[in-house]
């Protein structure tokens, strides 16, 4: 995914990037701000999905104020 994102995204696209309490799988930054953060997982049901959301939320700082979960 990063091979596609990096040349096509105007900011920086990095993988396994440390943010607050852990490393997020994909982090897009633009003009010094995080604009997108993702954890990539194989589907293992609703329980694992909810655990992944909790994991991802633990990586957010107070500056990462807009979040969406798909």
Domain residue spans of the chain: 2-58
pLDDT at 34 over 80: yes
* Alpha helices for 1-70 (secondary structure H): 2-8, 46-58
pLDDT bin (cut points 50, 70, 90) of residue 33 is confident
Q: Give the ranges where 9-45 is alpha helix by DSSP (H).
A: none
Residue 27, beta-bridge partner list:
14, 37
What integer pLDDT is reported at residue 66 of this predicted model? 61
Least confident of 7-11, 33-37, 61-65: 61-65
Give the model's confidence band at 16: pLDDT under 50 very low, under 70 low, under 90 confident, else very high. very high
Is 70 exceeded by the pLDDT of residue 2? Answer: yes
Pairing of strands 33-38, 12-19: unpaired
């Amino acid at each position: 995914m990063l091979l596609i994102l990096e040349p096509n995204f105007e900011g920086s696209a990095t993988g396994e990037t440390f943010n607050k309490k852990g490393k997020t799988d994909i982090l897009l930054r633009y003009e010094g701000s995080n604009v997108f953060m993702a954890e990539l997982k194989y589907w293992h049901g609703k329980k694992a999905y909810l655990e992944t959301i909790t994991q991802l939320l633990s990586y957010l700082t107070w500056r990462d104020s807009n979040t969406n979960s798909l």
